[in-house]
A and B are shown apart, each in its own frame.
Chain A
Amino acid sequence: MQIFLEFLLIGATSFGGGVVAYLRNGLVAKRAWLDDKAFVELLSISQSLPGLNSTNMAILVGDRLRGLSGALAGIAGMCLPGGLFMFVVGIFYHEHGDHPLATAALKGVAAAAVGLILATAVQLGKRSLERSSDLVFVALTIVGVNRLHQSVLTVLVVVGLIAILWYRPRKGPEGSAPR
């Protein structure tokens, strides 16, 4: 129950993305359910699996604390406030979305959202793109989806496999390769 309430609080207050900061604040600083090291470890799992960071974190933290029921409580709390918000917005938009003032405002909102996502991409890129080969994989992915109009699944599998093989484990002084 406490897990549900804490995630409900985080889910209700984390406006504008950046859920990670809210999670750290609630789970590490306030509740002390996790230490920083465990938090970073769970975050790295969340980021390397499909799914949103915020909901994956809710699953992992909930599971650590309380098993399956904790995981369910975590994700339910996380999604409920935003879900109710968008439920109401959806109904309202359906009825009044063609009002001239609404269309005008939405034009601005959509343009701002494009800027927001570009900023996220730049920030992520600065952190995780290290070599020129990384940039090739970024470009291949974009060309595959936007120019060649391949499905996201096809591009993900094809470029993803090439990239994983490119960074395959190599026989080195510090590690051993499986083959």
Chain B
Amino acid sequence: MNQIPALIRVFAYLSLLTVGGGMAAFPEMKILTVDVHHWLTFPQLVHLYSVGQMAPGPNMMMIVSVGEWAGGSLGAILVVIAFFGPTSLLTLVVGRLWNRLTEWPWRSSIQRGLAPVSIGLLLAGCFTLAKGAVFGLETATIAVAVLLLLLHYKINPALLVLAGALIGALSFGPK
């Protein structure tokens, strides 16, 4: 079955939800890619998203893996275009108009109003992710430890995610 049109539709839609970052779209991505289209399972989505935190560059490149699974190499390429196309076009246009917008009084209202909403969406995405990632004491401890370490020390987060892999392999792995 050809999944390409559905892939493009889903990721172009998700693109517009990424207010404040990619995580904002995560709950919707879970519903569309897992529940509606069955391109992958929820644990697989959680794993890919988490591994994606170790990838260089934009932290949502895990969409490439989803595109590849559902639509091969073409799917992978089209997913990237669909996911970054709409917001990039918007950014290009608004970027050129920005200087004219400085006098528009609603501009700061929009920035001010969307700031808490984007943090709410980030947390909502985080809770959706946590449902598939935190079960039991060990995983909760890893999550809290990473949170505290990042808040108190300047460490590259990719290293902590890597450390998580090591601890996971040691504590849950085959004995």
B-contact 0/1 string along A105-116, CB 8 Å cutoff: 111111111111
Smallest beta-carbon distance B110→chain A, Å: 5
Report, as a range, how many residues of chain B touch the other chain. 35 or more
Those of B55-94 within 8 Å (CB) of chain A: 55-66, 68-69, 76, 80, 84, 87-88, 90-92, 94
Those of B26-75 within 8 Å (CB) of chain A: 27-28, 31, 44, 46-66, 68-69
- A168 x B106 contact (CB < 8 A): yes
Tell me, in angstroms, the Cα distance from A164 to B106 when the chains sit together. Answer: 8
> Given the known A-B contacts A107-B172, A114-B126, A168-B106, are A87 and B64 also in contact in the complex, defined by CB atoms under 8 Å?
yes
With beta carbons under 8 angstroms apart, the residue of A12, A55, A162 that contacts B56 is A12
Report, as a range, how many residues of chain A touch the other chain. 35 or more
> Given the known A-B contacts A89-B51, A107-B139, are A164 and B113 also in contact in the complex, defined by CB atoms under 8 Å?
yes
- B124 x A146 contact (CB < 8 A): yes
Those of A85-112 within 8 Å (CB) of chain B: 85-87, 89-91, 93-94, 97, 100-101, 103-112
- A163 x B113 contact (CB < 8 A): yes
Query: Does B1 count as interface, using CB distance less than 8 angstroms?
Result: no
- A71 x B92 contact (CB < 8 A): yes
- A110 x B133 contact (CB < 8 A): yes
Of A14, A97, A135, A163, chain B has the most CB atoms within 10 Å of the CB of A163
Of B60, B91, B132, chain A has the most CB atoms within 10 Å of the CB of B91
> Given the known A-B contacts A106-B50, A108-B169, A109-B165, are A56 and B27 also in contact in the complex, defined by CB atoms under 8 Å?
no
Q: Provide a sorted-by-A list of 16 A–B residue pairs whose CB atoms are within 8 angstroms.
A: A45-B95, A50-B16, A50-B18, A51-B87, A51-B91, A54-B59, A93-B65, A97-B47, A108-B142, A109-B54, A111-B142, A115-B160, A128-B115, A138-B120, A145-B27, A159-B120
Residues of A within 8 A of B (CB): 10-19, 41-42, 44-56, 59-60, 63, 68, 71, 75, 78-83, 85-87, 89-91, 93-94, 97, 100-101, 103-125, 128-129, 134-135, 137-142, 144-146, 151-153, 155-156, 159-160, 162-169, 175-178
